A and B are shown apart, each in its own frame.
Chain A
Amino acid sequence: MTIRMIAVLGLMAGGPPAGPPPGAAPVRVVATLPVYASIASAIGGSEVAVTSIADAREDAHFVRPKPSFAADIRRADMFITTGLDLELWVPALLDRAGNKNVSEGGVGYVTTYTGMKLLDVPTSTDRAAGDIHIYGNPHVFTDPLNAIIVARNITTGLKKVAPDRAAVWDRGLAAFTDQIYRRLYGDRLVEIVGGDALANLSRSGKLTSFLAQTPYEGKPLTGQLGGWLAAAEPFRGKNIICYHKNWAYFEDRFQVHCADYVEAKPGIPPTPGHVAKLIDMMKTQNIRVMIAADYFGRDKVETVAERAGAKAVMMSLQPGGVPGINTYFDVVDRWVKNLAAAFNE
């Protein structure tokens, strides 16, 4: 009788159930990239069974759409992809899998870019400019604030696929978002200003001036900044050389600037002439650091950097590619620390 009354009251209140129904199977999630799998795991915990298609060590542009992946997708409840033209191997896999629930337009199909402000959107789609992405730069997750949007989109998908566990997904999203804020700005600043307010200031480009102009206990709030943004101080406002346009969103968030690229055109291997000009430019402008994703040839990257008297920083873009780098937080930690260390040498 008591149990029945509580159930009736719950229905009248219209609130979500407190947890998953007993014995509910985990939601089967297939993500294109390990970074999305990591975020889905952070949200869903033991209520999701997550796998990723791309290996953490490989270039997301050139993943082999193997039949075994199609078999995984056939059994999936949810499929996560960037949704731009980064993973162009996805349609072949979805066609082969034949799972309408996770195909484009299906209830379990999630695009992570939805709701993001995209960078590098081309004004014309001419292949003479190289492998340009026609919708904009798809390497969206190099900005931790975009990772929150990724997490929101994944949460929306989980709610569609398993609405009975909405409270679980909401709790996971809230915890992930809070963790990003604390890692990005530091605990102290988040407690003083609030994570959402800081994120809004960051997105509008007003964070630095706000912190400098707002007093707290007699000093500017800048002194309370911690986390990744504080750790990024050694390279804030500095010029670097980037191998590929992987880092556009990272540049935007951490205020570091790719002055030029080893690839003169995205996706096109550099010519000797371009490399020679790049080395001259690095020497002339005293650019001391070059960054590249670690799936580019280490010898090639280090040779160019060495000839220019610069430090090559090669970093994994995905969790799972390097021992000890298991989550999205680990990945961003490593980006910031390695880049800062290169400038401190």
Chain B
Amino acid sequence: MHWLLPIHSGGTYEVWGEATRSSNDALFGSSNGVSLLGHVNGFWELSSATYVELGLSGVSGSRGIDSAPLGATAAGDRLFGADLTIDWRPPARGTYQQFTLHSGAMVNRRTYTGAEDVSAWGAFANAEYRFTTRWIAGARYEYTENPDEPDQHAWLAGPTLTWWQSEYVRLRTEYQFYRGPSERFGQLVFQATFAMGPHKHENY
């Protein structure tokens, strides 16, 4: 369900609510119960070129106990997140000049009946700058703790370069430097995306 709140001053505010079957292995394990999701989104235009968007999310559901600690008789997962987007695109130059920052942070609370609860968190930030119609340069950083063993954490960072042949074909390369609990490496990743259909205007 989606509500566009009738608040007409300052910004635009939306609320989403969902009830779905839990089928996410990472979050809910083998559970097939009901999970509930809520999301609140605030959108503010700072100028004709710049906007800020802030979201708060929460999801909750029961978790299968097949991977739970010994002694646990029931388990659940609560995930809370906040996301922030800043976008700058001057209207007259919008087809060839744009800066976008996406970032977010999440906290996961894994609760057990008969065993100790576990908390872990993660965050990411991705910045991109379009400097011609076709070329976009960017950088990405991610950090995460292992939701089962929060003492273990990993991060990944690296630059990205994207070339749009047209709005239907995107070629992208990214150098990833990864550092985890048991290994570290660097790798170069290539991605090709092809789309079909009419013009793509879904991002804002």
Contact = CB atoms under 8 A, between A and B. Distances in A.
Interface of A: 55-59, 61-68, 70-71, 74-75, 85, 88-89, 92, 96-98, 127, 130-131, 134, 267-269, 294-297, 321
A306 B204 CA distance: 35
A90 B4 CA distance: 17
B148 interface: no
B142 interface: no
The 8 closest A-B pairs by CB, nearest first: A64-B204, A55-B91, A58-B91, A57-B92, A89-B201, A67-B12, A67-B43, A57-B91
A67 B92 CA distance: 21
Nearest to A74: B4
B133 A269 contact: yes
A273 to B, nearest CB: 14
Given A62-B201, A75-B8, A321-B92, 14 more contacts: A57-B92, A62-B95, A64-B204, A65-B201, A66-B12, A68-B45, A85-B198, A89-B202, A127-B168, A131-B167, A267-B166, A267-B167, A267-B199, A297-B93
Nearest to B3: A98
A94 to B, nearest CB: 12
Contact of B51 (A66, A127, A130, A294): A66
B203 A66 contact: no
Given A70-B12, A269-B134, A58 B198 contact: no
Contact of A134 (B48, B89, B198, B202): B198
Contact of A68 (B12, B94, B196): B12
A56 B89 CA distance: 14
B173 interface: no
Interface in B184-204: 196, 198-199, 201-204
B175 interface: no
Contacts of B11: 68
Interface residues of B, number: 34
B133 A58 contact: no
Nearest to B202: A92
A296 B91 contact: no
B129 to A, nearest CB: 16
B94 A295 contact: yes
Interface of B: 2, 4, 6, 8, 11-12, 14, 41, 43, 45, 48, 51, 53, 87, 89, 91-96, 133-134, 165-168, 196, 198-199, 201-204
A88 B201 contact: yes
B91 A130 contact: no
A44 to B, nearest CB: 22
Interface centre among B2, B4, B14, by most chain A C-beta atoms within 10 angstroms, is B4
Nearest to A90: B201
Nearest to A95: B2
B4 A64 contact: no
A297 B93 CA distance: 7
A120 B7 CA distance: 44
A66 B91 contact: no
Contacts of A85: 198-199
Nearest to A294: B92
A64 B45 CA distance: 12
A295 B41 contact: no
Contacts of B167: 131, 267
Contacts of A58: 91-92, 94
B85 to A, nearest CB: 11
A295 B91 CA distance: 8
A66 B43 contact: yes
Contacts of A296: 95
21 contacts: A55-B91, A59-B95, A62-B94, A62-B95, A64-B203, A65-B202, A65-B204, A66-B12, A66-B51, A67-B12, A68-B11, A71-B8, A85-B199, A89-B201, A131-B166, A131-B199, A269-B166, A294-B92, A295-B95, A297-B95, A297-B133
A295 B41 CA distance: 31
Nearest to A71: B12
Contacts of B53: 67
Contacts of B165: 268
Given A55-B48, A92-B202, A70 B91 contact: no
Which of A63, A64, A70, A85 has most B Cβ within 10 Å? A64
